[in-house]
Structure 1
């Protein structure tokens, strides 16, 4: 690689082979079309590896375990081989991505150790935001956690060692990637680049100095994550044409066990990030909680919703800080006011460390813009520190300490020695051009002052010219400015209904009620103003570049301030929600207990109509069957539980009178009934695929929400599948809410340990031969007792009476036949006997683990024996009631 520019952090080299980058990606880099040919003097490096066109990465709704896909491969003599698959109807990256934008350029390296429980090392390098995330996961043979992690970060390219590709024996992980991540390029990289030693050296060289010791401790023993980091950095240097300079990269190690795993299907089903009906609607959890005032805070909130923390040590300080903000109203408003002064500092600092070796007027303009925005940033920090003056909670005190003025004062002093005090970053193009012209202090360069004087005189000539035109031709034109046309005129079209436009006007364009135009003299004056402005910018460039090089030495401190602002902004946003919507602080315990809980999104949409409900689940009531009429609120009730769990593990208050939550490590939701035409899968196929994924990965730290399992197939098969799935979920020890219309499910499982039957209450009244059905939306004990509620609902909404009478006759006939079969069945007695024996087995198992003394135990066993014999004899007799 060519020698690096001194003190710069990341350099992107110019090459005709490199991919054109957008301004949102590279910050300071202009597009190729904006670079004059006379200034483009760089030549391609002989080791350059051509980049492919940017690929939009999809987000699958759930994991799959079969099916086919088409694979296309391409090669280049100097480029690594790529495998990519295509799929239609994919969601954009921003739907469920942690970084939430298609413009991010992200490289992911994956290193695996094969075995019974394979370890997988992951390294994500985001070139757009100048950060790297390392993780090592102990995964299953299906690599569920690995797939989940990659789907959340949505890399532009995935790297794997060359031996994982054919003609070698293709690895199982590669096959799963091809199946689960269609559309994502998968690149082979030579094994020599996957080196732990090289990874440690890269961390030592690239990470912030202050973070080195903490990172070394975190990655200790994580061989595969370190190897993956080495490969990602090498790929960035060789293929992406980016040279990362020393101590400029934000490196973090992120243990997978520190966050709740939410699969992609659950993210979309719960509408955590995006409303399913309207992508622009704010009726989703992210839209509800996103009261942030900075882009950094919004991104941080998004990341936390997709990856809620499972560490109480992380959540409690957030709740303490939130508690303090809700009590100290003056401090809360001061913080919110101070946060409004911050723009997207994270992207600003990333653009600051991306340095090109080209020279052009556009690059020089961007450099001045960066300095002015950094100035605005460091000026705003003391106000935030002052707003936190009354803070007492540990988290707020720590943020105040990081945002102390002394930390940014060196940058403030550097800027003050070069930049005029009254020059600041402005919003409009004309104001920003003026600020660039007068940014550097006078006396630095003699010709600079001459260029400024020329700029001033030419600008005054423009205004004088417009006044002369208005006077000479009796018109009322307004002077406007934009980057493309520079100065131009706007006139009302209604002023020229009875006369033609003056001949002096050229480049006329009619837009609505306005006429936009210029004059030949105005075009010439524009050229004079532009030339003088460009001259001032170019003469300022050397001073600005020296200033930027000095500022880059303080970038690690500025990034820490930026991250603290993001965290504070998120907590303050929670405070805004908590105070305006009457939320309460959650507790963390072994049980899930909610009193007067409300669905956060439905409450915002219908604040006066929503009915609160209570929820309780513990080891004795961990599997809850929810029955009830159609439209009674079953889906809303179970979704509410999962949304409040996510809110609690993000660190937010929740809509409830009282709330206590266990710490959940996995959240699974199966609610959707949509089919997938693109994947050629029916509703039932998708349902079974999602349930297979849940059953393979569930454990006792999981929360599972199942809505109407089995309704997409025949009644008999649906009940059988629902019953078999329920048996497995009961044995898993997880917390499960199972909403169903299969009333037999509630009867069969009703007496199992850990199973609780609940229903949503409905009131039916017969009035003048008409049935009135009222949904109470209130949870009640036991299974639903109302029969034929579907017919009641059909009558209530106006279904024709003649059809209803036929339906009622058919329903009654079927019910009579079923009851007759039950009474005459010879197997019914055997079923009752087996159930009694199972109850006896459970009682004996509980006695085996009890601490009763011998006498008491003997007495209890004798009573149990007598009761068992008596009830068994009753079953043998005729007309005995069913055993409970």
Structure 2
């Protein structure tokens, strides 16, 4: 008789023999099952052995569990020491990674001051991808230049610029060297970013709705010590509504005293807010050929608005659109530009705002010079330069004011509370927007926004617009 020993999870070990064996099975076989051409059965001794195996397995599991429990009790008595060891190892690993990163990529040690100043700063990720092409940029932000409007043509590097500032700020505050020739940062309590430009299909939210939801969150939590980067705002709705909302949100961000970088294609936004204290306009430079046949991105930040606003037409031409379409777009653009120039008239109030900003800027420069570490010769040279620049710019402003002797628009617009917004440290006073009223034929009015919050303002670290004493 041919017997075969097999195993099954339900019956454990059993005996299998061919069903072709002649005659009945011996009485020693129990639990007999007949399946086609084979017979499965067990014996009493085999059942006992299976039970012993089960008992032994259960005993091993119980002993293993008891051993593990004893080990856990022993470890818990020394858990504080193990935590200290793990923290030391993780800290050593982080510092080693920082050291390797700083050594291999020529990073420098940043300083912690009250001014954000970066010389030849680089994007820590993009420079690894385009190491031979990446162009470094400078950045400078103080309470008098806390709201920076970044304009420029498409693909000129606006998003890369503002994101690099956020990344190096985070790197500096976690103790890492940063990619720059020199860098100093104020301590930022919060970092807010509004950079996505896509719909949220899962939440059934459009691009514009997502922008408004994110901005509402920012306004509920922003503080004077916050840092905010905004990459396009209000582009997901109509031009009029988008510009109006962008202006209102920008006014609220200015009032918050936070450091803000606002990248936008709304050039009117920079003109409307030009008279507000703390606002400056920068752009990413680009060279356009005289015949508009070629556009070269410099990827370098520069002061002032974009010199040529028709870069969209140049990009459209490079995309080989039909000539008739391009000619029509160019004629419409020129007509709108002429209309804007007729509406754009200077006023005495704008000149007064420029003079006020010049005085505040000089005051801030003098305080920085006083608290700096320059030697006497360097300090003397700096003061002479500041004096010469101040005299030239003030003379130009006075000449501009002489052109409007009878202008009655020197009216300061008092701040008014705006509901449904929550931002810290309201500005108590700002110049009215007479220039914009003339330019837009009284269709829009730029008023400073005042909003309240329960959070601590912390305004002692910033220079108030109307203050004459550094707090």
Q: Same fold (TM over 0.5)?
A: yes
- What does the per-residue CA deviation read over 1:211-270, in whole Å, with 9 as the maximum and x for residues that have no partner? xxxxxxxxxxxxxxxxxxxxxxxxxxxxxxxxxxxxxxxxxxxxxxxxxxxxxxxxxxxx
Residue 556 of structure 1 corresponds to 80
Q: 1:652 is matched with which residue?
A: 176
Q: Does 1:735 align with 2:267?
A: no
In structure 2, do the counterparts of structure 1 residues 550 and 593 end up closer, same or farther at CA, with 3 Å as the change threshold? same
CA shift in 2, pair 1:544/1:651, >3 Å: same
- Secondary structure at the aligned position of 1:664 is classed as coil
Is 1:803 matched up with 2:307?
Answer: no
Decide whether aligned partners of structure 1 residues 535 and 637 sit closer, same or farther in structure 2, where only a CA change above 3 A counts. Answer: same
Aligned twin of 1:620: 144
Deviations 1:400-430 (A, max 9, x none): xxxxxxxxxxxxxxxxxxxxxxxxxxxxxxx
How far is 1:761 from its partner?
0.6
* Alignment counterpart, residue 637 of structure 1, candidates 155, 161, 185: 161
Partners in 2 of 1:627 and 1:795 — Cα distance? 21
Report the secondary structure of 1:704's partner residue.
strand
CA change 1:840–1:588 in 2 (3 A) is closer
Compute the displacement of 1:670 (Å).
Answer: 0.9
Distance in 2 (CA, whole Å) between partners of 1:622 and 1:653 is 24
Aligned match of 1:600: 124
In structure 2, what is the equivalent of residue 130 of structure 1?
none
Aligned partners of 2:292, 2:361: CA distance in 1, in Å?
52
- Is 1:872 equivalent to 2:396 in the alignment? no
Q: Quote the residue 1:686 is aligned against.
A: 210
The equivalent of 2:50 in structure 1 is none
Alignment match, 2:226? 702
Match of 1:757 among 281, 291, 295: 281
- The superposition leaves residues 517-546 of structure 1 with CA deviations (integer Å, 9 ceiling, x where unpaired) of xxxxxxxxxxxx999999888778777765
The Cα offsets for residues 492-522 of structure 1, whole Å up to 9 and x where unpaired, read as xxxxxxxxxxxxxxxxxxxxxxxxxxxxxxx
8 Å Cα contact 1:840/1:868 also seen in 2? no
Tell me the equivalent position of 1:121: none
Superposition deviation, residue 739 in structure 1: 0.9
Secondary structure at the counterpart of residue 719 of structure 1: helix
Of the three residues 333, 339, 347, the one matched with 1:832 is 347
Q: Does 1:814 align with 2:336?
A: yes
Does the residue aligned with 1:590 lie in a helix, a strand or coil?
Answer: coil
* Alpha carbons 2:123, 2:160 under 8 Å: kept: yes
Paired position in structure 1 for 2:29: none
Aligned to 1:572: 96
Instruction: Give, in whole Å, the separation in 1 of the partners of 2:278 and 2:305.
Output: 15
Structure scoring higher RCO (CA < 8 A, sep ≥ 6) equals: 2
652, 662, 668: which one aligns with 2:186: 662
Looking at structure 2, the residues matched to 636 and 846 of structure 1 have their Cα atoms a distance apart, in angstroms, of 28
RMSD: 4.0
Partner of 2:299: 777
- Greater CA radius of gyration, 1 or 2? 2
Match of 2:236 in 1: 712
Query: Counterpart of 1:51?
Result: none
Q: State the SS of the aligned residue for 2:404.
A: helix
Provide TM-score, normalisation by structure 1: 0.34
Paired residue secondary structure (2:88): helix
Q: Secondary structure at the match of 2:289?
A: strand
Deviations 1:760-779 (A, max 9, x none): 0101124xx56110001011
> CA 1:786–1:557 in structure 2 vs 1: closer, same or farther (change >3 Å)?
same
Aligned to 2:310: 788
Secondary structure of 1:873 counterpart:
coil
Work out whether residues 624 and 757 of structure 1, in 8 Å CA contact, stay in contact via their aligned partners in 2.
Answer: yes
How many Å separate the matches in 2 of 1:530 and 1:777? 74
Q: Aligned to 1:717, what secondary structure does the other structure show?
A: helix
- 2: CA distance between counterparts of 1:720 and 1:541? 68
1:585 Cα deviation from its structure 2 partner: 1.5
TM-score w.r.t. the length of structure 2 is 0.62
1:543–1:795: structure 2 CA closer, same or farther, 3 Å change rule? closer
Contact 2:275 2:354 in 1 (8 A): no
- Distance in 1 (CA, whole Å) between partners of 2:360 and 2:104 is 52
Post-superposition offset of 1:616: 1.0
1:568 to 1:739, Cα distance in 2 relative to 1, 3 A: same
What is the alpha-carbon distance in structure 2 between the residues aligned to residue 599 and residue 845 of structure 1? 32
Q: 1:575 to 1:712 in 2, by over 3 A?
A: same
The 1-side partners of 2:401 and 2:124 are apart by 53
Give the CA deviation at 1:723: 1.7
Is this contact kept in 2: 1:623–1:755, CA < 8 A? yes
Q: 1:844 to 1:546 in 2, by over 3 A?
A: closer
User: Which of 744, 764, 778 pairs up with 2:268?
Assistant: 744
Distance 1:835 1:765, change over 3 A: closer
CA–CA separation in structure 2 for the residues paired with 1:736 and 1:716: 23
Shift, 1:626, TM fit:
0.8
Partner secondary structure for residue 98 of structure 2? helix
- The structural deviation recorded for 1:868 is 9.4
Report the alpha carbon displacement of residue 550 of structure 1 after superposing the two structures with TM: 3.6
1:314-325 paired onto structure 2 within 5 Å: none
Q: Distance in 2 between matches of 1:843 and 1:779?
A: 22
**CA separation in 2, counterparts of 1:832 and 1:559?**
67
**For the Cα contact (< 8 Å) 2:120–2:182, is it kept in 1?**
yes
Deviation per CA, 1:164-206: give whole Å up to 9, x if none. xxxxxxxxxxxxxxxxxxxxxxxxxxxxxxxxxxxxxxxxxxx
Q: Residues 650-700 of structure 1: CA distance to partner in whole angstroms, max 9, x if unpaired?
A: 221111121111100011111111222333322111212222222232221
Corresponding residue for residue 419 of structure 2? none
The Cα of 1:623 is off from its aligned counterpart by: 1.2
In the comparison of the two structures, how many residue pairs are matched? 334
Pairing of 1:230-245 with structure 2 (within 5 A)? none
What whole-Å deviation, never above 9, does each CA across 1:420-468 have from its counterpart, x for those lacking one?
Answer: xxxxxxxxxxxxxxxxxxxxxxxxxxxxxxxxxxxxxxxxxxxxxxxxx
Alignment of 1:262-301 (within 5 A): none
Partner of 1:587: 111
Q: How has the CA–CA distance of structure 1 residues 691 and 549 changed in structure 2, closer, same or farther, with 3 Å as cutoff?
A: closer
Instruction: Mark the CA change 1:846 to 1:615 in structure 2 (over 3 Å): closer, same or farther.
Output: closer
* Matched residue, 1:479: none
2:149 alignment partner, SS class = strand
SS at match of 2:347: helix
Give the Å deviation of 1:801: 2.8
Deviations 1:746-805 (A, max 9, x none): 222234322222110101124xx5611000101111111112110111122333333212
